Structure 1
Amino acid sequence: MQTAEGGLREQHKAQRRARILDATRELLRDSPESVLGTERIAERAEVAPATVYNLIGPREKIWEALAAGFMDELERRLALLGAGDPREVVRSTVRLFVEDPVVSRRLVREWAKSGLVLDRSPLTQLRRAMAEAQTQGILRADIRTDALAAAVGTSCVGALHQWVAALIDDDRFLARALFALDVVLAAAAADPHRDRLLAPLRTRGTS
């Protein structure tokens, strides 16, 4: 059983860790292309450099921690929405990236495992939403819904990297992510719902 002292110690550690990550985000926004150093982060967070290393780790771990914070926030937003609408899952994911573009772009560029940034929250919610649509008879019963979600996730990662490279703007990022979802839904549609799920593809391109 955790003592009151131990609980307070853990609370203080969590607060300092949050302060370090907030300081990192602030530094990125202030100087988008600057090199992130432990000493600069520690100075902004008002902690010792050793504290940054002990509570988070070296630079790669800092990116990983920023990504985890991103996914925590996305998970919170998606939980409020529920898992019923895959389009809202995609919209919420894109919206979170574009709300803080400097940090999002540096995170994707610098984190060696950035391809996993969509692995947790959005894919979990997409799987649930696809499974629910299948249960309702909207999608065919012979389709693996986890494979559908994975296909959408792969396409969204591609659109994300195009956005990070400034090859597409915010609106096109969202449009391409939704287009990938609509293609998958239309391909897996049960007969009574095929025309409805094909409709977005008839009225919208990929641009």
Structure 2
Amino acid sequence: MQTDQGGLRARNKAERRSRILAATRELLRDGPESVISTERIAERAEVAPATVYNLIGPRDKIWEALAAGFMDELEHRLAEPGAGGPREVVEATVQLFVGDPVVSRRMVREWAASGLVFDRSPLTQLRQAMADARTQGLLRADIDTDALAAVVGASCLGALHQWVAALIDDDRFLARALFALDVALAAAAADPHRDQLLAPLRRRGAVRGDAASGDAVRGDAV
């Protein structure tokens, strides 16, 4: 009986925490630049303000909890069969950000302002994906896959902050993240897979070449 009661309490706690985070996301979508307070979240979630503080914590912890939920969803998506390669990690991460842009942009801005860092990061999944690619023989055996993942991650982070600042759109965000990945994979490719890993860069070059030719014909070349 005690075990059943403990399980019920845990489920109730998880349900209330989920409602609190859902309410926070709703408030952000209602007013992207509005102040998010414990009282407003509690009212929207239909719980007491003390419950928000006890289950989540102060305001900085709210952003931490939102980021944890982001990572939970990313890990869930990457757990699907065949979804754990380097390209899938980058694509899934970008898609999560752009799938809820108001919340994502505010979360990143507030996180930077708080001076905190993500407790869990997509870089963990990218490191593992790179290591797996080396084990599979796609990448050279002498490659430091952690360093390779860090280089790609830094480029993706730069693209993320440009997207958060609305300097680039969703498509450009994804394109820049994948370009950084493709360059890294091509540079580290094992000989039997070099053409395979160079193919995305060659396709990109061909598309740009066609576009440039078209611009020249129209007199639009810069």
Please indicate, yes or no, whether the TM-score normalized by the shorter chain is above 0.5: yes
Give me the identity figure in percent: 80
Matched to 1:167, the amino acid is: L
Aligned to 1:70: 70
Q: Which runs of 5+ in 1 are unaligned?
A: none
Stretches of structure 2 lacking an aligned partner (at least 5 in a row): 209-222
Aligned equivalents of 1:116, 1:200: Cα separation in 2? 31
Provide the rounded CA distance (Å) in 2 between the counterparts of 1:48 and 1:59: 15
Q: Match of 2:80?
A: 80
Is the 8 Å Cα contact of residues 83 and 125 (structure 1) preserved in structure 2? no
How far the C-alpha of 1:113 sits from its partner, in A, is 5.5
Q: CA deviation at 1:8?
A: 1.3
Superposed displacement of residue 62, structure 1: 0.3
Q: How well do the aligned residues superpose, as a CA RMSD in angstroms?
A: 2.1
| Residue aligning to 1:173 | 173
For 2:31 and 2:84, how far apart are their aligned partners in 1? 39
1:116 correspondence with 2:121 = no
Which residue is equivalent to 1:40?
40
Q: Find the aligned partners of 2:6 and 2:41 in 1 and give their Cα distance.
A: 27
**What's the counterpart of residue 202 of structure 1?**
202
| Matching of residues 178-189 of structure 1 within 5 Å | 178-189=178-189
User: Which residue of the partner structure matches residue 138 of structure 2?
Assistant: 138
Q: 1:92 to 1:113 in 2, by over 3 A?
A: farther
Report the CA distance between 1:7 and its aligned residue. 1.9
Alignment of 1:82-97 (within 5 A): 82=82, 84-97=84-97
| 2:21 aligned with 1:54 | no
Partner residue, 2:218 = none
Which region of structure 1 is more displaced relative to structure 2, 125-134 or 183-192? 125-134
- In 1, the alpha carbon distance for the partners of 2:48 and 2:193 equals 59
Counterpart secondary structure, 1:80? coil
Indicate the larger mover: 166-175 or 5-14: 5-14
Question: TM-score when scaled to structure 1?
Answer: 0.91
Distance 1:148 1:83 in 2: 20
Between the aligned partners of 2:115 and 2:77, the Cα distance in structure 1 is 23
Tell me by how many angstroms 1:70 deviates: 0.6
**1:131-186 residue CA offsets vs partner (Å, 9 max, x unmatched):** 22212222111111122112211111111111000010000000000011011101
Which 4+ runs in 1 deviate beyond 6 A? none
Scaled by the length of structure 2, the TM-score of the pair is: 0.85
Give 3-state SS (helix, strand or coil) of 2:80's partner.
Answer: helix
> Corresponding residue for 1:127?
127
Residue identity matched to 2:118: L
1:79-121 Cα shifts (integer Å, max 9, x gaps):
114455211111111111111000000000001367537x53x
